[in-house]
Structure 1
Amino acid sequence: MIRLQSLADAPVTCRISTPLVVGAAFRTNCLGLTPHEIGIEPEGTVPALGTVAVVLHLDSSEE
């Protein structure tokens, strides 16, 4: 889980990257409740003065 917090007064676009192969990505709150799949997109938005979390599920077929 990657937790992001914005201290800006406007929404902020963030880019997340990893050298690992990701099979699925989910946006959720910082407690991990009610996740919904967002697809493998490298960018997302954090709301003004808000928090979000992204859960990455690694692709187990890559070895």
Structure 2
Amino acid sequence: MEKFAKVKEVVAAIEADVEKFYNAGNSAAGTRVRKAMQDLKGLAQEIRTEVTEKKNSAK
């Protein structure tokens, strides 16, 4: 659950940069969005691994 909470934090933190990039054309904000998306990708993979391990150990 900790990692899922971290995903929600990252999404909430990046929201302002997403607005700046798409609505104001701020390319620096786009770079920050891309970095955050890469971090999310890593977190998502960690969550997937954790869920698979938990599911398989329950059998």
Same fold (TM over 0.5): no
Structure exhibiting the larger radius of gyration computed from Cα positions: 2
**Structure 1 or 2: larger strand share?**
1
What is the TM-score when the length of structure 2 is the normalising length?
A: 0.22
TM-score by length of 1: 0.22
Q: Greater share of helix residues, 1 or 2? A: 2
Larger relative contact order, structure 1 or 2 (CA cutoff 8 Å, min sep 6):
1
